[in-house]
Amino acid sequence: MAISLKLPEFLVVRDKERCIECQVCVNQCANEAHIWDQDLEQVVSNDVACVNCHRCVVYCPTRALRIEEWKQDFKKNANWDGISIKQTYLQAESGGTLLIGMGNDKAYPIYWDHLLLNASQVTNPSIDPLREPIELRTYLGRKPDLLKNPSAFREELPPQLQLEVPVMFSAMSFGSVSLNTHRSLAAAASELGIYWNAGEGGLHEDLFSYSPKTIVQVASGRFGINASMLKRAGGIEIKIGQGAKPGIGGHLPGEKVEEDVSRTRRIPYGSDAISPAPHHDIYSIEDLRQLIYSLKEATAYERVVGVKVAAVHNIAAIASGIARAGADIIVLDGFRGGTGAAPLRIRDNVGLPAEFALAAVDQRLREEGIRNEVSLVIAGGIRNSADIIKAIALGADAIYIGTAALIALGCHMCQKCYTGKCNWGIATQQPDLVRRVNPKIGRERLVNLVRSWEHEMKEMLGGMGINAIESLRGNRLMLRGVGLNAKELEILGIKAAGE
């Protein structure tokens, strides 16, 4: 057999002074990077199997473990760096597309970090959120053009999604993530008074009690979709694309389609679940309109129907079309959005930053006078409460978090979701690994994360002298750009710091 040119990515550093040979690391590593050697009577490392997920590091009772990068220098070359060389070796050996999990990790500019928020000084008072109420409640959905009867101050509203915090858990399907992950997300969303998105794999029957706070997804594979499921759900989302892999479909390998997944998705046990790249009944805005209204018809016009697209070139025109097709919500998924599996080259090279997509779409819809007809939700790379506040000031109604929610559940961003061997029990269907997410703990951690962001958002709003998130929405005067060129400032529609 020809020698493999693959080198380990990581080095397992085991402090012999501290190791007590308890084998907890051996028990926890699904990749078999730790092996109990009976002859040596000690734990030995198989570095090449390590994915740097930190499961062993966290579980080691004596802190004897640390994972380092496997340092192997190549001759300095600004063009052919080590990563490019190693990826070439890998493809020369496998002959396959490079797969990867989670969002784009390349060093593209993060525009959130180039935006600064305002605060009140002297000329208007700031508000202390501990003394005065600050309103974060948000309604997503079509808003009327005007009050038909202004004296009554009342207007019949189309269906709306009520969020106590402008945050939702974004679509992650049962199949790509475990049922215990879904249980955690569903329970947390219900407790927080927000929505979670069940993704394109349908809704497991154990979670029916959470359906009022569930957004179900109609994607190109149409898995698990039926009339009763649509009626049961709190909201419906048509998924056209996702930020991690715009223009690309999905492929859940048959090995992951175990009994529960097969029943929920309504596909044969062990068969591959293939989501085509496009919806084969949507080749135009008119086709999209047909599906939107089919779904509204199926739910007696009592449900909000959103459309999720990946942020791509010309997104403003696309979003205008979606709004005119009758969508109640448009979700813009930026190129940092996560995924369970994507071709590496697509993930790293296709799409737009969510910040630009949001600014461009909000601006375009305002100019066309149809901004009230849709709510804008953005997804893809939101890391903290400051990102959310900046997104809302740029024009978003609410945001989706996927990666941040998974990190709260224990994800350590090793990007190996596509292997199905998630050591944290999240992106796996292997029964012994699924048990690693205890939904009671998961729910608590997710609730803690969103509640802490809620406090921080109120602090930031209060600092700006704003007592309701409504007053910040699209209020770009609260933003200034730092380190951005004139064109970037123009697209974002903000002034430069100091102006």
Partner 1 sequence: MKKVVAIKEYCVACGLCEVYCATVHSRYPDSVLKAFKLSPQKPVSRVFLEKSEQWSGGIQCRHCKDAPCIAACITGAMYRNRDGIVLLDEERCVQCSTCVIACPYGLIKESDMGGRKVLLKCDLCYQLAESPTCVTYCPNEALIWVEEGETL
The binder of partner 1 chosen from 22, 48, 90, 413 (CB under 8 A): 22
The binder of partner 1 chosen from 148, 435, 455, 495 (CB under 8 A): 435
Q: Looking at beta carbons only, is 27 or 94 nearer to partner 1?
A: 27
User: How far apart are CB 42 and partner 1 at their closest, in Å?
Assistant: 13
The binder of partner 1 chosen from 61, 109, 125, 276 (CB under 8 A): 61
Stretch that binds partner 1, among 97-105, 312-320, 335-343, 437-445 (CB under 8 A): 437-445
**Under 8 Å between Cβ of 339 and 347:** yes
Stretch that binds partner 1, among 14-22, 76-84, 133-141, 143-151 (CB under 8 A): 14-22
**CA separation for the pair 376, 371 (Å, rounded):** 9
Q: Compute how many residues bind partner 1; rule: CB under 8 A.
A: 19
Q: Looking at beta carbons only, is 64 or 291 nearer to partner 1?
A: 64
Residue 432 as a binder of partner 1 (CB under 8 A): the answer is yes
Q: Which residue has the tokens 């109640």?
A: 328
Q: Which of 239, 359, 358 is nearest to 295 (CA)?
A: 239
Specify the pairing of strand 235-239 against strand 214-218.
Answer: parallel
**CA separation for the pair 51, 45 (Å, rounded):** 12
Q: Looking at beta carbons only, is 23 or 88 nearer to partner 1?
A: 23
Residue 271 as a binder of partner 1 (CB under 8 A): the answer is no
Site for partner 1 in 479-498 (CB under 8 A): none
Residue 206 as a binder of partner 1 (CB under 8 A): the answer is no
User: How far apart are CB 58 and partner 1 at their closest, in Å?
Assistant: 8
User: How far apart are CB 321 and partner 1 at their closest, in Å?
Assistant: 47
Residue 205 as a binder of partner 1 (CB under 8 A): the answer is no
Distances (CA, A) of 286 to 290, 291, 357: 6, 9, 23
**CA separation for the pair 449, 443 (Å, rounded):** 10
The binder of partner 1 chosen from 347, 436, 473, 476 (CB under 8 A): 436
Cα-flanking dihedrals φ and ψ of residue 368, to 5°?
-85, 0
**CA separation for the pair 369, 388 (Å, rounded):** 25
**CA separation for the pair 355, 372 (Å, rounded):** 20
The binder of partner 1 chosen from 46, 438, 467, 475 (CB under 8 A): 438
User: How far apart are CB 25 and partner 1 at their closest, in Å?
Assistant: 9
Residue 13 as a binder of partner 1 (CB under 8 A): the answer is no
Q: Looking at beta carbons only, is 174 or 195 nearer to partner 1?
A: 174
Site for partner 1 in 329-348 (CB under 8 A): none
Q: Is 200 helix (H, G, I), strand (E, B) or coil?
A: helix
- x-marked contacts with partner 1 along 31-60 as a string, rule CB under 8 A: ----------------------------x-
**CA separation for the pair 63, 83 (Å, rounded):** 30
Number of alpha carbons in the 13 Å side-chain half-sphere of residue 57: 13
Stretch that binds partner 1, among 21-29, 92-100, 364-372, 399-407 (CB under 8 A): 21-29
**CA separation for the pair 371, 396 (Å, rounded):** 11
Site for partner 1 in 440-479 (CB under 8 A): 440-441
Rg over alpha carbons for the chain, rounded to the nearest Å, is: 24
**CA separation for the pair 339, 170 (Å, rounded):** 11
Distance of CA 404 to the CA centre of its chain: 7
Q: Looking at beta carbons only, is 259 or 367 nearer to partner 1?
A: 259
Strand runs labelled E in 362-455 = 375-379, 398-401
Residue 5 as a binder of partner 1 (CB under 8 A): the answer is no
Distances (CA, A) of 213 to 61, 161, 222: 39, 9, 20
Q: Looking at beta carbons only, is 150 or 431 nearer to partner 1?
A: 431
First-to-last alpha carbon distance for the chain, in angstroms, is 66
Residue 431 as a binder of partner 1 (CB under 8 A): the answer is yes
**Under 8 Å between Cβ of 374 and 364:** no
Residue 255 as a binder of partner 1 (CB under 8 A): the answer is no
User: How far apart are CB 205 and partner 1 at their closest, in Å?
Assistant: 17
**Under 8 Å between Cβ of 358 and 336:** no
Residue 24 as a binder of partner 1 (CB under 8 A): the answer is yes
The residues that touch partner 1, with contacts defined as CB under 8 A, are 18, 20-24, 27-28, 59, 61-62, 425, 431-432, 435-436, 438, 440-441
